[in-house]
Structures are given as C-alpha cells and as structure tokens.
C-alpha cells in the first residue's frame, strides 16, 4: 500500500488549481434552471380509468394474498377480468379523445 502524504497531495492540488484557473472563464456558477413540464390532468374525464385501475390494483393484492392456496385460481380470474375492464375503458376513452 502506498504511503499517503497529505502535504504532497495539497501541493499537487494547488498546482492543478493554478494550472487550470486560466482555462475556466470568469462566470458565476449557478445551477441550471429546473426543467419543469406543466400539463393539465383532467381527473373528471379519467374517473372511469382511475376506478378500473384501482380494481386492478385490488385484484393484484388479492392474487398476492391467495398465492399458493386454493383461492389462487379465482384470484387470477378476478385479476384478468379487472385488467380486461381497464383495457376496455382505456380504449373507450382513447376513441372519445380522437377527433
């Protein structure tokens, strides 16, 4: 293992700072402005999708709880039904939004 000499490290750091200082323009260092995207989300129009998504989430929870039990098949079917209803709702909403 190499010996760590703090005096030598400081000398090297000072030498590097002196060498690089002329290359750096005299500009104030400020962080760039945050990139913010603003977008309106209309929840009223998406209430059906949100409702169906909550049903899918509940079905996933039910499947997780029923895993490796005799209720797993029913939980899988419930999840499939909820996912299909969500798909139908999304398709219905996407057709309405198209001109």
* pLDDT tens-digit readout, 10-41: 999 999 988 888 877 776 677 777 887 776 65
Phi, psi of 67 (to 5 degrees): -55, 135
Q: Please tell me the distance from the alpha carbon of residue 14 to that of residue 76, in angstroms, as a whole number.
A: 66
Pick 1 or 14 by higher pLDDT.
Answer: 14
Total-model pTM: 0.51
Calculate the CA 20 to chain-centre distance.
Answer: 39
Give the tokens for residue 47: 């209430």
Calculate the CA 27 to chain-centre distance.
Answer: 34
Residues 6+ apart with CB under 8 A from 93: 45, 46, 48, 49
């Amino acid at each position: 293992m190499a010996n760590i000499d703090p005096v030598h490290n400081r000398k090297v750091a000072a030498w590097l700072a002196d060498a690089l200082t002329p290359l750096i323009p005299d500009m104030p260092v400020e962080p760039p402005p945050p990139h913010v995207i603003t977008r309106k989300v209309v929840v009223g129009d998406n209430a059906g999708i949100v409702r169906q998504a909550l049903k899918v989430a509940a079905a996933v929870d039910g499947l997780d709880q029923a895993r490796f039990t005799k209720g797993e098949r029913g939980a899988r079917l419930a999840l499939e039904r909820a996912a299909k209803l969500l798909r139908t709702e999304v398709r219905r909403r996407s057709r309405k939004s198209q001109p």
